[in-house]
């Protein structure tokens, strides 16, 4: 099976712009989660989508949003970018019988730099 793919891999934006990141989960996986990884804050949970519905949400401002399509692909949007949004954004999918006991499979990430 193909792994989790994320596009683009690298992105450079300026403050105030918006950005959309894309994630394609492993075939058959219905849960897609997004994380922000920074040196100072570590790995922070953004949100999780399951069967096109947001099931969990982390403590991020409303500028961060996402959605999931019927084929389980997911997009994450950040509006009005700030310098502090510079980070590696990781997407993870999990499948099988849905449950917290499932491990997550991570994509390579999108490296966002805000200038």
Residue numbers 15-74 binding another protein by CB under 8 A? 31-33, 35, 42-43, 45, 48-50, 55-56, 58
Stretch that binds another protein, among 12-20, 59-67, 72-80, 88-96 (CB under 8 A): 88-96
Pairing of strands 53-57, 64-68: unpaired
CB of 16 to another protein, least distance (A): 28
Would you report the helix, strand and coil content of the chain in percent, each value rounded to 5?
A: 5, 50, 45
The residues that touch another protein, with contacts defined as CB under 8 A, are 4, 31-33, 35, 42-43, 45, 48-50, 55-56, 58, 90, 92, 94, 98-109
């Amino acid at each position: 099976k193909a792994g989790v793919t994320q596009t683009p891999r690298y992105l450079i934006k300026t403050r105030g712009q918006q950005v959309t990141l894309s994630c394609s989960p492993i075939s058959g996986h219905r849960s897609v989660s997004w994380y922000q990884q920074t040196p100072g804050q570590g790995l922070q949970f953004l949100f999780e989508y399951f069967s096109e519905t947001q099931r969990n949400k982390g403590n991020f401002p409303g500028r961060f949003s996402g959605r999931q399509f019927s084929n389980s692909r997911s997009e994450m949007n950040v509006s009005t970018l700030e310098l502090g949004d510079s980070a590696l954004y990781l997407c993870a999918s999990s499948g099988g019988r849905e449950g917290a006991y499932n491990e997550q499979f991570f994509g390579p990430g999108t490296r966002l730099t805000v200038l």
